[in-house]
Amino acid sequence: MKLLALQRTMARAVMQPLTRSEHMQQKAPGGGKMRAYAGRFIKPNDRLTSFERLEIYNRQYWFRLFSAMTEDFPGLRSVLGEKQFDAMCQAYLIDCPSTSFTLRNLGSKLESWLRAHPKFAAIKQTLALDIARLEWADVEAFDNEAKPPLRTEDLAGAAAANLTLELQPYVRLLDLKYPVDDLLLAVRKEEDTDFASNAFSERRKKKHVRAVAKLKPQAIFLVVHRIENSVYFRRIEPEEFAMLAALRQGKKLGKALDAAFRNSAMPVDQRAGAVQQWFQNWATLGWFCRPRQNAANA
Amino acid sequence: MPANKFNGFTEYGIGIGLRATHYDHILSRKPVCDWFEIISENFMIDGGRPLQILDQILEQYKVVQHGVSMYFGSAEKPNREHLRRLKDLVKRTKTPWVSDHLCWGSVDGRYTHDLLPMPYTFEAAKLTAQKVREVRDYLEVPVAVENVSSYAEFHVSEMTEWEFLNEVVERADCGILLDVNNIYVSSQNHSFDPMAYVNSVPAERVAQIHIAGHSKYRKYILDTHDHPVIDPVWKLYDRAIHRVGHTATLLEWDDSIPTFKEVHDEALKANKFLASSVLATAS
């Protein structure tokens, strides 16, 4: 068997889902018996059959990927419950196997995949999508690039209305139907507490269920960002969110301001003050990058 | 012999793997440690805390890069994005050499994130060596390949694992990261003499040595890096050091990680063998 053929043969078996009891399936990829499939390319030894030797890799593959998903999506796990989360992960990873050298990107397609497969969250679909989006935004906010921040002098001479401002790549904007920021913080706090007290997972499960059951829909506008390399969640008003979203789309400042107040109930006399306050906050938090030409000259 | 072209002519001592659980201790206490090995992929990112920590570590310590997903033995071409990011990191750390595993783990663009064993064939050796050369030429630093622990062997193999290792490194003219724990684990799983393996390695190519612990099950051993180094592995280390000389040595501890001091103390046990190798050379 040539190298490529052997690697394809082994990878198909290694990436085939485990049974419910977390063992390798008896059925081979494409049909037939797995024992015969494994025996065709793997040698047995005096202690293990070809099947058993291949099974070690099959189990390690799934345990490693489940572990990575659990680490990145503890909130979604609490929403779906452990069993359903595991079922969802398996289905997701079959459809979207890793195509990156790093496990960091494993969950990058989860939100869109979950949207197309509503059966895993059923009546909790909206909540599940919200928490999945938040948890992926958290991954991106953690280690996306931080470009040189915008300085006052970068704006000198620019006509305000025609100005284009670029948001930092690590700033993520989320419009959510549920207050999942609170939920995720609660889940993390529980996990920290349980880790510290060495408590049992059964108690953790029950607490999660209660927290999810209590969660009522509430539209929120959230910025996931970082300060001194720690990730934070910041709720903002819909107008501020609309303006940031427009700027992220590359709209000029004048258009972004139009977008901010298009459907706004904010009294007209308060708008200028609000915009001024937003800019102060954004400058303090360093959410905007220096224009490319200026950054290169810095 | 220890300082050679495969480790950038460096004389590194005993290091440990840099792990997140020890960051606070290292940055606040600044303990003495000859060097740290980082998992390259953990820092091949665009920004954030990991790079900030790395930069702080680099101000105080020597760092060597060790990768887990280059997959020299995969039949497909190297991933260009991976190479680009790896080279950026090489520039940042100024690592004297980079290492990754003599294994495969991806096929048709899909990653298993595992270190899968090679079939020991001449075809695989040729292709793997070609890939090692490509990576080294792109990165412009010496490359060392590490022998992996394995749990399966293939019918198509045409040679032993150590013959395969020799075939690859001679063809690629690259270094070896000799993992004596992996040799022990595989020797138990495949019933060969681990000393024969250590004795067959071309000593002049050894850039670095790994030591680690593992987990023993009823029918096989798993390379879990979650225990101290056992005596039979120290014996292999002793033999390796007598053959290759005072070589950069690193303890891997990746799961159930104890305190920094415990990990470092375990690594420093290597000093006993390094001292005896110096005495043996002197006499």
Size of interface A-B (CB pairs under 8 A): 125
Write out the two tokens for A116: 């197309």
**CB nearest to A100's CB, from B111, B121, B152:** B111
For residue A27, the 8-state DSSP code is B
User: How, if at all, do strands B175-179 and B221-222 pair?
Assistant: unpaired
Question: To which residue do tokens 């700033």 refer?
Answer: A171
pLDDT confidence band for A197 (50 / 70 / 90):
very low
Q: Do A3 and B121 touch (CB under 8 A)?
A: yes
Q: Do A53 and B151 touch (CB under 8 A)?
A: yes
**Model pTM above 0.90:** yes
**CB nearest to B41's CB, from A40, A99, A101:** A101
pLDDT confidence band for B1 (50 / 70 / 90):
low
Q: Which residue in chain A has the smallest CA separation from B45? A: A143
With an 8 Å Cβ cutoff, the interface of chain B facing chain A consists of 41, 44-52, 69-70, 74-75, 79, 81-82, 104, 106-114, 116, 119, 121, 123-124, 127, 151-156, 189-191, 219-220, 222
Distance, in Å, from the CA atom of B155 to the CA atom of A38, rounded to the nearest integer, reads 11
pLDDT at A206: 55
CB B147 within 8 A of CB B161: yes
For residue A167, report the phi and psi dihedrals to the nearest 5 degrees: -75, 145
**Number of domains composing chain B:** 1
CA distance readout (Å), A244 to A119, A150, A221, A278, B171: 33, 15, 11, 10, 56
CA distance readout (Å), B182 to A45, A130, B112, B191, B221: 18, 44, 20, 13, 10
**Residue B275's CATH number:** 3.20.20.150
Region B145-161 average pLDDT? 98
pLDDT confidence band for A202 (50 / 70 / 90):
very low
For B194-247, what is each residue's pLDDT tens digit? 999 999 999 999 999 999 999 999 999 999 999 999 999 999 999 999 999 999
* Nearest Cα to Cα of residue A158 among A288, A40, A9, A52: A288
Contact with chain B for residue A170, Cβ under 8 A:
yes
Q: Is the pLDDT of residue B121 over 60?
A: yes
**CB nearest to A60's CB, from B114, B119, B220:** B114
Write out the two tokens for B185: 């684990």
Distance from CA of B51 to the nearest CA of A (A): 9
Q: Do A8 and B52 touch (CB under 8 A)?
A: no
Q: Provide the sign of the torsion angle of the four alpha carbons A180, A181, A184, A185, taken in this order.
A: negative
Region B156-185 average pLDDT? 98
The percentage of chain B sitting over the pLDDT mark of 70, rounded to a whole number, equals 98
For A33-42, what is each residue's pLDDT tens digit? 999 999 999 9
Q: Is the pLDDT of residue A140 over 60?
A: yes
Write out the two tokens for B127: 């292709």
Distance from CA of A110 to the nearest CA of B (A): 17
pLDDT at A259: 96
Q: Do B114 and A14 touch (CB under 8 A)?
A: yes
pLDDT at A252: 93
For B262-281, what is each residue's pLDDT tens digit? 999 999 999 999 888 766 66
Q: Do B189 and A42 touch (CB under 8 A)?
A: no
Q: Provide the sign of the torsion angle of the four alpha carbons A235, A238, A243, A245, taken in this order.
A: positive
Q: Is the pLDDT of residue B20 over 70?
A: yes
Higher pLDDT, B223 or B283: B223
pLDDT at A244: 98
CB B249 within 8 A of CB B15: yes
pLDDT confidence band for A212 (50 / 70 / 90):
confident
* Nearest Cα to Cα of residue A289 among A154, A143, A180, A186: A154
pLDDT confidence band for A152 (50 / 70 / 90):
confident
CA distance readout (Å), A152 to A146, A169, B7, B173, B202: 18, 20, 48, 54, 61
Q: Do B156 and A41 touch (CB under 8 A)?
A: yes
For residue A127, report the phi and psi dihedrals to the nearest 5 degrees: -60, -45
Q: Is the pLDDT of residue B34 over 90?
A: yes
Distance, in Å, from the CA atom of B265 to the CA atom of B21, rounded to the nearest integer, reads 16
Contact with chain B for residue A67, Cβ under 8 A:
no
* Nearest Cα to Cα of residue B212 among B174, B247, B168, B182: B182
Give the DSSP H or E segment for B143. Answer: strand B143-146
Q: What is the domain extent for residue B273?
A: 5-282
Q: Is the pLDDT of residue B87 over 50?
A: yes
Distance, in Å, from the CA atom of A83 to the CA atom of B127, rounded to the nearest integer, reads 43
pLDDT at A160: 74
Mapping DSSP to helix (H, G, I), strand (E, B) and coil, where does residue A22 land? coil
Mapping DSSP to helix (H, G, I), strand (E, B) and coil, where does residue B113 land? strand
CB A172 within 8 A of CB A223: yes
User: How, if at all, do strands B98-101 and A172-176 pair?
Assistant: unpaired
Write out the two tokens for A11: 């990878």
pLDDT at A298: 47
Region B64-89 average pLDDT? 97
Distance from CA of B190 to the nearest CA of A (A): 7
Distance, in Å, from the CA atom of B109 to the CA atom of B104, rounded to the nearest integer, reads 12
* Nearest Cα to Cα of residue A289 among A234, A239, A252, A248: A248
**CB nearest to B113's CB, from A41, A98, A146:** A98
For residue A100, the 8-state DSSP code is S
Q: Do B114 and A104 touch (CB under 8 A)?
A: no
Q: Which residues lie below 8 Å from residue B272, measured CB to CB, with a gap of 6+? A: none
For A233-292, what is each residue's pLDDT tens digit? 999 999 999 999 999 999 999 999 999 999 999 999 999 999 999 999 999 999 999 876
pLDDT at B273: 92
pLDDT at A162: 79
**CB nearest to B127's CB, from A3, A45, A65:** A3
For A53-68, what is each residue's pLDDT tens digit? 999 999 999 999 999 9
For A71-90, what is each residue's pLDDT tens digit? 999 999 999 999 999 999 99
Higher pLDDT, B86 or A158: B86
From the CB of residue A209, how many other CB atoms can be counted at a distance below 10 Å? 13
Question: Which residues in chain B have their CB less than 8 angstroms from residue A68's CB?
Answer: 113
Q: Which residue in chain B has the smallest CA separation from A59? A: B114
CA distance readout (Å), A141 to A219, B48, B220: 21, 8, 42
Q: Is the pLDDT of residue B10 over 70?
A: yes
Q: Do A170 and B47 touch (CB under 8 A)?
A: yes
Taking all residues of chain B, what is their mean pLDDT, rounded to a whole number?
Answer: 96
Q: How much helix, strand and coil, in percent to the nearest 5, is found in chain B?
A: 45, 20, 35
| Rounded (5°) CA angle A51-A56-A62 | 115
Contact with chain B for residue A105, Cβ under 8 A:
no
Taking all residues of chain A, what is their mean pLDDT, rounded to a whole number?
Answer: 91
Q: Which residue in chain B has the smallest CA separation from A99? A: B110
Region A156-183 average pLDDT? 90
